[in-house]
Amino acid sequence: MLITLPDDSVREYPDGVTPLQVARDLSPRLGREALVAKVDGEVWDLVRPLPGDCRLEILTFSDEGGRLAYRHSAAHVLAQAVKHLFPGTRLGIGPAIADGFYYDFDTEHKFTPDDLPAIEEEMKRIIKADYPFERREVSRQEALEIFKKLDEPYKIELINELPEGVAISIYRQGDFLDLCAGPHVPSTGYLRAVKLTSLAGAYWRGSEANPMLQRIYGTAFPKASLLEEYLHRLEEARKRDHRRLGAQLGIFSLQEEAPGFPFFHPKGMILRNELEQFWREEHRRAGYLEIRTPVILNRSLWERSGHWDHYRENMYFTRIDDTDYAIKPMNCPGAILVYKSEQHSYRDFPLRLAEMGLVHRHEKSGVLHGLMRVRAFTQDDAHIFMLPSQVEDEIQGVIDLVDRFYGLFGFKYHVELSTKPENAMGSDEIWELATSALRRALEAKGMEYKVNEGDGAFYGPKIDFHLEDSLGRTWQCGTIQLDFLMPEKFDLTYIGEDGQKHRPVMIHRVVFGSIERFIGILIEHYAGAFPVWLAPVQVKILPIADRHHEYAYKVRETLVEAGVRAEVNDRNEKIGYKIRAAEVERIPYMLVIGDKEAAEGTVAVRERGKGDTGSAVLADFIGRITQEIKERRS
């Protein structure tokens, strides 16, 4: 058979050769590091014979497909260990996820953190035994008989829901059998560093109508050093958790009376207002006009927009004067009504309407998470109406704007292009036209991007910006969605050069994404130590004794007049304690005031992360900090 490799070279091998044999032939190191293979685009087992002439790629842990298979194999080992230690346990599902894996169990035993070390030890024993992962395809009837005998009702439910004609496969390692499409690494001995990390409850199939199962999370790496690095990042993430820091720093709180609806405190409002001020400045420079639209709009509008049919389960509703209304989950219909309020000419284009719009979405309680997943949030939306000939330039302009925003905070980012989903409105031709325009704009900017097939919005394809924080985690924030359909549904028109009515093209886009979520990301990115321009308190003035209070308040007054946010700590405490308290608050600058400073009109400056930086004339310090604020240094 002829095997085409990733570099397009072709090699001949005997029939029945496996990917593992090919990997070892290509390179001893590749043979050692190989985990699974990609055969004509499909990922499958290394020890599964190749079907004939094909394109072959060997995947290692550095490849996403390799990592997923590695951790999926670890999930099977976890399930085997639990079955050994807790007989009678019934199995749910056990997929690989970002940075790890989990498995769901139905058992009378209530798992606690104290169980995890024992389960880990059993997993290590199974790994040491080096059981091969053996794949076997079976008929639907045989699969049902196998899992009925094993008393696995959840597996039987999954089998019954598989479409007719789909190949059903099972995997065995030692005495453990599981329903699984695969692929897996060749044997349990391929697993090296495994760690169970946490417990959670999870409804079967994600539905509250189903039984609550117990979920065990874990992770796996081919080297102990990689696991140690990951656990260090995990611990650092716990320290930076925005929910803990948000409460500690007085930024926001979450109350039982309003689950999923965050409360912003005075310091949080300072942070929020600084972000919004920056947003407004940049948008004015980029030619945007700001609007504001109502939060509650008539049902007929949402039926016309398509949200009623495609998004209703995520919406809140009310009745006014015996008429149905919806609380807006998106800002676009309001912006469209603003556009329709007057007739437009081609000379008005591109028309860029921006809005800090409050939206509400019905999220299930189980997915709410601090500021990252809420039920009410503010989108920094904009809707751009334009001529078809302006589409690519406008998309490039939005890309440049996003780049300026993320660059200010020091974020790296990558880009993904999402295409037509199953529940999409509109024809394939319209979607191809829109998707091609997004592709051309990305390529014109020389940007690398990943394609997410079928992940677009129901009304158009989109470009998503995934930023990377200081811990290497990625967050989806900015979005550009190209829409040929809403202008059609709302009969949007403009008068062209020929004096006739024409249909505009529309772009939906956000940069922050959600102000609330972006603040949560910033809290964790900076671990609460915000750049000076964002810090709710920029300077803390620390008088050493009561006799220094008068001068301390004069310093504060001078700073405030210069536009600097400053506070005085006049509590009756030792100066060392005041300094430590300010460090806990992540204050960028501390000004220590004693006899010398009061007599000379100076301040002793302490800078966050640097400590004592010496004495300074107050006017000089003000000049320095105000310049830092003006430049929005990160």
Residues classed as catalytic: 332, 361, 379, 381, 383, 462, 508
HEC readout, 408-420: HCCCEEEEEEECC
618, 601 Cβ separation under 8 angstroms? yes
Nearest to 576 by CA among 535, 542, 536, 616: 542
Alpha carbon separation from 41 to 55, 61, 422, 451, 487 (Å, rounded) = 8, 17, 22, 15, 38
Give the span between the Cα atoms of 343 and 345, in whole angstroms.
7
Q: Which helix (H) or strand (E) holds 442?
A: helix 428-444
**Phi and psi dihedrals of 379, rounded to 5?**
-90, 135
**Phi and psi dihedrals of 388, rounded to 5?**
-55, -35
Give the span between the Cα atoms of 248 and 528, in whole angstroms.
9
565, 538 Cβ separation under 8 angstroms? yes
**Phi and psi dihedrals of 375, rounded to 5?**
-105, -15
103, 92 Cβ separation under 8 angstroms? yes
Give the span between the Cα atoms of 56 and 36, in whole angstroms.
11
Q: Is 484 helix (H, G, I), strand (E, B) or coil?
A: coil
Q: Is 366 helix (H, G, I), strand (E, B) or coil?
A: helix
Q: Are strands 351-360 and 501-502 parallel, antiparallel or unpaired?
A: unpaired
Q: What is the dihedral of CA 169, 174, 176, 181, to 10 degrees?
A: -20
- Quick one: CA dihedral 371, 374, 378, 380, positive or negative? positive
Give the span between the Cα atoms of 278 and 631, in whole angstroms.
11
Give the span between the Cα atoms of 564 and 567, in whole angstroms.
10
Q: Are strands 263-264 and 252-253 parallel, antiparallel or unpaired?
A: antiparallel
- Quick one: CA dihedral 50, 53, 59, 65, positive or negative? negative
Range list of H helices, 502-592 = 515-526, 549-561, 575-584
Phi-psi map region of 479: left, alpha, beta (phi>0 left; psi -120 to 50 alpha) = beta
**Phi and psi dihedrals of 590, rounded to 5?**
-115, 140
Residue found by looking up tokens 């990951």 in the block: 230
**Phi and psi dihedrals of 434, rounded to 5?**
-70, -45
Give the span between the Cα atoms of 364 and 260, in whole angstroms.
9
Give the span between the Cα atoms of 199 and 89, in whole angstroms.
16
Please tell me the number of Cα atoms within 13 Å of 487 on its side-chain side. Answer: 23
**Phi and psi dihedrals of 45, rounded to 5?**
-65, 145
The identity of residue 73, as a single letter, is S
Residue found by looking up tokens 């940049």 in the block: 282
DSSP code per residue over 487-501: HHHTT--EE-TTSSE
The H helix count followed by the E strand count for the chain is 20, 33
- At residue 262's C-alpha, the angle toward residues 364 and 374, to 5°, is 30
